Amino acid sequence: MTTKVQAAAAAGGKMGNGDAASTSVSPALVLLAGWLVPGTGHLLLGKWVRALLLMVSIMGMFAIGIALAGKVYTPNTGEPLDMLGFAGDLGSGVLYLLARLLGWGQAPVLVAVADYGTKFIVVAGLLNIVAAVDAHSLASGRKQS
Amino acid sequence: MNLSHFSAVLLFSLFTSIVFGITQRTEPKKMVRFAAFCFVLFVAGTVAASWAMWLIKP
């Protein structure tokens, strides 16, 4: 059974409107690349303006969060809210690994803007997941353009 | 780095709206319109919530 979305995507591909259908990049690779480095998924699909905007937005948000002395969550603290924060942070891909390697975001949160920084970092990760899934949808033809 | 609360709201709204616009719409014109819509909603919602908190403070 074909859904309306799938049928429209298939029709778009046949007419040459589906950019994803004309590329040979694997959707899984696009998803992985988009997660690891913000915007790379769209870059692989040739959508460099979107890629640049996503990269600047997500990396900018992450950088501001770090600059505001926000907290970078670590796994296995035993606190459910910390685990959710860790899941959000992990969405940033290599940015999260970089932060852990360089020891960013380890100072205790003492002021309101630092708490804002923590939220900036988590939301940057969540937005990166949304962007990576969007790139996957474009690569698989689920989203037309 | 030290940001005022309002500038933090503006930056958060800007970056989030850009990502929402790109990922939730298919045509460039609609992307820009949706991003602008999200930005206004974020900022206006925050200002409204701030006034609501000020009004209900003991």
* Separation of alpha carbons B36 and A125, rounded Å: 22
B24: tokens are 């939730």
- Model ipTM? 0.92
CB contact under 8 A, B12 and A54: no
Contact A59, B24 (CB under 8 A): no
For the four alpha carbons of A71, A122, B38 and B11, in that order, the dihedral sign comes to positive
A89: tokens are 């942070």
State pLDDT tens for residues B1-58.
888 999 999 999 999 999 999 999 999 999 999 999 999 999 999 999 999 999 998 7
Q: Among partner residues A58, A113, A130, which is closest to B8 by beta-carbon distance?
A: A113
Confidence of residue A3 (pLDDT cuts 50, 70, 90): low
Give the global pTM.
Answer: 0.86
Q: Among partner residues A57, A67, A144, which is closest to B19 by beta-carbon distance?
A: A57
CA B27 to chain centre: 21
Residues of B with CB under 8 A from a CB of A: 1-3, 5, 8, 11-12, 14-16, 18-20, 22-23, 26-27
